[in-house]
Every structure is written in structure tokens, then in C-alpha cells.
A and B are shown apart, each in its own frame.
Chain A
Amino acid sequence: MTLVSIAFVYIYYRLLGGWNVHATDFIWGSSVMTGITGYLTVFMAILVLRYFVLIVFSYLEHLDNIRRHERELALGKPTPDADRKLPFVTIVVPAYNEGMIIKAAIGSLLEIDYPNYEVLVVDDGSTDDTYERALEMVNVTDKCIVTVITKANGGKANALNTGMTYAKGDFILNMDGDSKLSPNTLRDCIRHFDDPRIGAVAGNVKVYNRDNLITQVQALEYVEGLALSRKAQSYTRSVNIIPGPLGMFRKNALWQVRGYDDDTFAEDCDLTLKLLFEGWHIVYEPRAIAWVESPSRLIDLLKQRYRWTRGILQAIRKHAWSLAHPFQSGVNGYILWYMLFEGVLWPVSNVFGNIFFAWVGIEYDVTTLLAFWWLQLSILDVAAAAYCVIIEKEDMLLIAYALVFRVFYLIVVDVAKIFASFEELIGTKMSWGKLEREGKL
């Protein structure tokens, strides 16, 4: 894939160069055009390099996981004695107006294969029947204690901090009220904490409601975009976003960074950065899966991505010093620049490249450039999608959505990201914007 991509970058460069030499009648002058084409070529080269690095690192991490799993299989099933030695874990479920799905979410937690755990539901002042429905699950089983706390509405960060305060376990698993966890989640996450340097484990988030084009493409995006990045980052023990639907923490680490802050709209990203800056290692566990209901309407998708983009930028801004001093900040400085590239530079360059080549195609009848631009990115997407789908043992049909991902989905999302970045820059007010649930969990 890399060789093909490098060949494409070369062809692309030659095409741009050849076209640029003959196009002496551009109104902006040839130096501006050379600058733009040079920038887009460099951007393309960086993208190829990014995919290459991510795939190599994620593959190395994948091999590590396979070896670890084989060692565990060789040891056989855990004995009752071994089970008794497993640490007590608290699962914190913040819920705001999740009445439609909270019972299903708690129900999935009662099926978890782990001997010592409790479920702590924090109702964040819901205006629906979340609290009453959660209460119905309190005495359903003797397997674990289910506690429901209700409090005045204070936001998700506040609800998670409340859960952290009441948690009895030394390890806390934070999730969303609209998520469903795989039964093996606690066993697969807890083993990472054998290493005292590890402060948190990020789980694998997958889309549950794959029933239309938008959710299918998101299913691919979660596998290709998010899981691939996290697996690669896990190799260096520096996952940069512990997803809200599934993250397990060492309680001491949470206390050390004083829990979640409520000054960003991406409290999970903010907390992860705080842990990384305190020196904690953060890994990814692909077998711990959180199934989530993703937005099935375009407008809800834009709402979600708008919030994510602004939230991530707010979290990055809190560590602006490290952005300005990357060499003194070590790996954390690199992580922040990487996040800025993915959050701002990538969407801007992608949309700009499309507009630029479309303009050139219309104005100078050179549509081949746009076709090459699209083809190059699509080859990268399809190759990466194929790799990720195979590694994750996902539905092979998802690979076909890579083309939709490139031609439709990414442009729509990137335009929203650009506006979100701009509005964050000028400080436009925003609200949390809760997504409407369909109750398909």
C-alpha cells in the first residue's frame, strides 16, 4: 500500500508540476499556484506517511496482543482462587435523559464476566424517567451491587466526578449511559494494570445501529479511523483520547488529576491529556468493546462532530505551552501537534484541495487532477479499511463504504469541523447538545 501511495505522490507531483509550468495565465501568478500545489503535495505525502506509521505501529501492537492472549490461553481458565484475587472494580454510568435505554445498558453490565464489581448509576438530574427506570434494575441480581444516585444537573464531567467520589473500587470503569459493554471487558482491561505505570485503558468503540448509510460509514470510521489510531498509539503507551463509552482508570490516577474538568466539551480528551501530562501510560484494549448508538441522521452527526472538534480544541488549548515548546514536552508535545493536525489541518487541507481542484477543473478543464487527488486518497482509505476490517474481524462489507467515506462523508464532516474550529477561534457560544436516542441498544 505504501509503495502504491508513494508512486501516486510522485505521479501526482509530476502532474501538478507539468500542469503548473504550462499554466502561465493564472490570475494569481505562477508562484502562488506553485505554493498551493506544493502544499497539497506535501500534505498528501504526510498523509501517506501517517497511514504507514499507524499501520506499522498498530500491527506491532496487534502482534503483542496475540502473544499475550496465547500466554493467557496456555494458563487455562481462571480458577476461583485466582478470581478472588482480582481487584474490585466500580463501573460508573452517568445518565442524563437516557430513560429509553438505561435499563438495557445496566442489563448488559449485569452479564459481565467478572467476580468483584459494582455498578454505580449517576442520574444527572434527568427530566425523564431515567432515575425510576434505573431503580428497577437495583435488585435484579445478586451478582453485583447496583447503586443509583440522583443529583442536580451538572453536566457529564460533574456526574463522572460524583461517581468517582462514591466508587468503592480501586479501579473505575467509566462509560456512557447509552453504551453496551462486551462481557469480557473487565477481565481484559484489568490485566493491563499489572504494570504500575499504566493509569488508564481505552476500550474499543463499535457502532451498534448499522441500519443506514450514515451509520454504516460511521461503523467503518470507528474501525478505520479511531481503532487504528488508538492501536498504533497504544504501542507507545500514549493513547490520546480515552473514549467516553469505555475507559478504565486507576482510581489514584483520577484523584491525582482531580477528575474531570467541566471547562471543555470533550471531557474524555481533556482527562486523557491530563493523565498523559502527569506521566501515566495509557493503553488500548481491542477486545474490550463498547457498543454505541451512533447518530443516524446527518444533522445529528454534524452536531456530534461540531462538539467533538470544539471540545478537542479546548482541551488542546489548556496545554498550549506544550504546543509552543514541543521539545521540552517530549512525547506529549508530539501528541498535541498530531491532534491539531487531525483536528484542524487535515480537514482544512482536504476541503481546500477539493475546492482548488474543482475550480481548476472548471476554469481550465483539467479534471484529471481532481480525479487523481480523489483516487490517491481513496486508495489509501480502501487499503487502510481492508487492513483494519481484517484485523478487527469486522464485516468485510464495510470496506465498500470506504468509497462513500471519501466522496461524501468526509467532506461533509470536514466542512463542519472547519466551521467548528473557526467558531472556537472567535469564541462563539455553544451548548452541550444532547443527541436524540432511538433506543436501539
Chain B
Amino acid sequence: MDLVSIFSTVVLVTTIVTLILALAAYFAYKVREWRKPKSSGGGKISADGVFEPIFLKRHMLSSLEHSPDEHIVST
């Protein structure tokens, strides 16, 4: 196999691999764009049309439940 043939084969293989990679990368990008949380987000729309999101309730230690600031001051 002469040098030109080797070079040509390398270019051929590289081109094919890159084309496949390009398609794969593009579809990966599109898949990522399509995957989104549902728009409702678990919230609800009130009677006057305002969207009210539901927030997770923050977990507090029982000793801090009533006055977290006091705890900070004391430390």
C-alpha cells in the first residue's frame, strides 16, 4: 500500500466517523432539549389566574422549629 492510499484511507475513515459523530451529537442535543419538566410544575392556577407554585416544606429540627434565630444567637 503506497503513501497516497494510506492517506486516502485515513481521510475516508476519519470523515465517516466524524459524520456519524456529528449526527449523534446533533440528536443528543435535540434529545436534551426535548426533555423538560412538565409545565405545570406541580403548582396550581388560582381563581384570579395567578400561578401558585408548590414549594417543598423545609425540614427543621424539632429544637429549632419555633425560633431558629435564637439558636444562632446562642451559638
Interface of A toward B, CB cutoff 8 Å: 298-299, 302-303, 306, 351, 354-355, 357-358, 361-362, 367-368, 370-371, 374, 407-408, 411-412, 414-416, 419, 431, 433
Assembly CA distance A298 to B32 (angstroms): 13
Residues 45-75 of B at the A interface (beta carbon under 8 Å): none
B15 pairs with A416, CB closer than 8 A: no
- Residues in A whose Cβ lies below 8 Å from that of B18: 407-408, 411-412
A-B contact count (CB 8 A): 69
- Closest Cβ of chain A to B18, distance in Å, is 5
Known: A411-B19, A411-B22. A368 touches B8 (CB 8 A): yes
B15 pairs with A374, CB closer than 8 A: yes
- Residues in B whose Cβ lies below 8 Å from that of A411: 15, 18-19, 22
- Closest B residue to A418 by beta carbon equals B26
For the complex with contacts A299-B29, A303-B29, 19 further pairs of A-B residues with Cβ separation under 8 Å are A299-B25, A299-B32, A302-B29, A351-B19, A358-B12, A362-B12, A367-B5, A367-B9, A368-B8, A370-B8, A371-B7, A371-B8, A371-B12, A407-B18, A408-B21, A412-B21, A415-B22, A416-B22, A419-B26
Known: A355-B19, A358-B16, A408-B18. A371 touches B11 (CB 8 A): yes
Assembly CA distance A374 to B12 (angstroms): 10
- Closest Cβ of chain B to A421, distance in Å, is 12
Residue among A354, A355, A431 with most chain B CB within 10 A: A354
Assembly CA distance A151 to B4 (angstroms): 62
B25 pairs with A302, CB closer than 8 A: yes
A370 pairs with B19, CB closer than 8 A: no
- Residues in A whose Cβ lies below 8 Å from that of B8: 361, 367-368, 370-371
Residues 1-36 of B at the A interface (beta carbon under 8 Å): 4-5, 7-9, 11-12, 14-16, 18-19, 21-23, 25-26, 28-29, 32-33
A407 pairs with B14, CB closer than 8 A: yes
A415 pairs with B19, CB closer than 8 A: yes
Residue among A354, A358, A371 with most chain B CB within 10 A: A371
B4 pairs with A371, CB closer than 8 A: yes
B15 pairs with A302, CB closer than 8 A: no
- Closest Cβ of chain A to B10, distance in Å, is 8
- Closest A residue to B23 by beta carbon equals A415
- Closest B residue to A303 by beta carbon equals B29
B15 pairs with A358, CB closer than 8 A: yes
Assembly CA distance A416 to B25 (angstroms): 9
Assembly CA distance A374 to B8 (angstroms): 9
Assembly CA distance A70 to B41 (angstroms): 62
- Closest Cβ of chain B to A249, distance in Å, is 33
- Residues in A whose Cβ lies below 8 Å from that of B19: 351, 354-355, 358, 411, 415
B29 pairs with A306, CB closer than 8 A: yes
Assembly CA distance A148 to B63 (angstroms): 42
Assembly CA distance A184 to B18 (angstroms): 41
- Closest B residue to A409 by beta carbon equals B18
- Closest Cβ of chain A to B20, distance in Å, is 10
- Closest A residue to B21 by beta carbon equals A412
Assembly CA distance A408 to B5 (angstroms): 21
- Residues in A whose Cβ lies below 8 Å from that of B21: 408, 412
Assembly CA distance A416 to B24 (angstroms): 10
- Closest B residue to A412 by beta carbon equals B22
**CB-defined A-B contacts under 8 Å, sample of 12:** A302-B29, A354-B19, A355-B19, A367-B8, A367-B9, A371-B12, A407-B15, A412-B22, A415-B25, A415-B26, A416-B26, A419-B26
A367 pairs with B25, CB closer than 8 A: no
- Closest Cβ of chain A to B50, distance in Å, is 15
